[in-house]
Structure 1
Amino acid sequence: MAKNLMRAVQYSKYNGGAADLKHAEVPIPSPKKDEVLIKVEAASINPIDWKIQEGVARPFLPRKFPHIPGTDVAGEIVQVGSGVQSFKVGEKVVAVLGNGGALAEYAVAKEGSTVPRPPEVSAPEAAALPIAGLAAHQSLTQLAGLKLDGTGPQVNVLVTAASGGVGQYAVQLLKLANAHITATCGARNMDLVRSLGADEVLDYKTPDGVALKSPSGRKYDVIIHCAQNIPWSTFSANLTPKGKVVDTTPGFGTLMSVAAKKIKCSKKQLIPLFTSPKKENLDFLVKLVQAGKLRPIIDSKHPLSKAENAWAKSIEGHATGKILVEP
């Protein structure tokens, strides 16, 4: 391989799936004035990555083909842009990439979307954090209005798909928020979800799991919805009069439901989440991992040479925690 080239995985059209991921040698990117170049040690796959490939954001994303996907990376800075003040070559970091690029040996990230990675936090743990961790954090704090320092009143919260990428973090953060947590997941993950802090765990395939009924009969002040295809009527039946549902993976149906409910008199809310790569939020999560208060759950690790296997596993939708790719 030439010195200025790197290995990368990319796709050249919409709707190709894992089979359309191609391995290539491409030029190592150069950081702009406000960017850093990271030697990637680990990257994670999020559902939004393959949904972009399916065309959910067309024609805006990808900005051009061929496209190197992925937004979550952890690694070491090997070059800094001329205007970068916060980082130096050799520092370990975790970053959210604005335009993809994670499935490669090197990636560029904005200084404002990059945070330090302390020695206590491994590259796989850090790479598992950004999008999923930020989605959980922002759902709880910004949309549900919960305090993660335990000073708020106790609330009853349901987390659906609690063993998935976002759900695992939501359960753990809720424990910091003095919440009573009910969670749904598959039967094989019930013990794991209990170990993360859930007070009640439902097998989502059982009648009570389908109905989202708390075993203790509680109504929910907040539902953090990380699954798919649950009707509003099921949520509404289990909410308190002013309860909120935060949909972490909103689609067209969610947006239509939000519009429809604004016409009605109910004070129950359905709120779509659009995750923002806020540096202070990511730094907060990294420090929780460093302190042993947050534990990223890793489903599997795949070499970059087999990235298509990781991609296919994410599309299947049954991962326990995060799926990683390592160069």
Structure 2
Amino acid sequence: MLAAGAFALRAPIAQVISAIQGPADFTEQEAATGTDTTVMIHSGDSGSDIAQTLVAEGVVKGYQAFYELLLAERPEPVFQPGAYELKTKMTAASALENLLDPASKLDRTVVVPEGTAAGVVLESIAEGTEIPLADLQAAAANVASFGLPAEATTLEGFLFPATYTFSPKASAQDAIKTLVDRQFAALDGAGVAPEKRWSTIVLASLIQREAGLRDDYYKVSRVFLNRLNPERWESGLLQSDATVAYGTGNTHLVTTTDAERNDAGNLFNTYVHPGLPVGPISNPGDLAIDAALHPADGPWLFFVTWNLDTGETTFSSTVQEHDAAVVKWQDWMRENR
């Protein structure tokens, strides 16, 4: 009875403690151990978007501490799009103060996270520099001028994710070429021959969008390669929601609807069209490229991320194992609505 009572009181007790202690925030002592980082704020980002970005980049400890502070600010803060020099493990108050300090904004600097779609990359370059977006889009349309593989019809997959600082005289062509050349350097450094660049980038872009934790990149790579093996997976269908979402234009999602998964008109729909997608679905970084080249050894044919907070993922080799993992994910979703 005592054990049952303690279990039942866990949530109310946690709520009381949270109310007393306030939202999660780094302490001054923790802040002293922070390291330099660069964060990108995009045009149209809301306060909620900015709070989520800061949490994702490890700048602040929790969403609520920063967002509540932001809501209480008068007059309402106005953030300029661009790159900001911050630190990890900042208190919410210090993070907000630095974002509002013009000195924190970096001139002509752009942050491109792994997995960003090409259209968003161009928007980021425009926001971080004085290069008009229209100029960047016009330059990007001339795919042949960047020396991409013959299969490429867009720049997708060949804009390496990193932090860049451009010269004041950089043109749209110069800026894009900087990212493309950096991706070529990454492929060369990984030992990818020019004739293998396309297939490597296509697979790496898929791994980049589907994998979460570092070690899982190599397992996700193996799952897709096992599904490309007719002896292991007769249909050859990769069944990746990320590819379907990309084909619908939802490049920021990895979830889809039944109707979207049944749409044969979507050439990126790997629930309908066998084999790798017709092109890259994101711009992958070094880790995804390495995983594409060096997949883990294993019999897995399925994977499901069952804990969306930690990114913990279950890899399975049978339908029965996968179904059990899906139930585990569904239970987690019910408990964390």
Fold conserved between structures, TM > 0.5? no
The structure richer in helix per residue is 2
Instruction: Flag the structure with larger Rg.
Output: 2
Q: Which has the higher contact order (CA 8 A, sep 6+)?
A: 1
Name the TM-score, length of structure 2 as normaliser. 0.28
The structure richer in strand per residue is 1
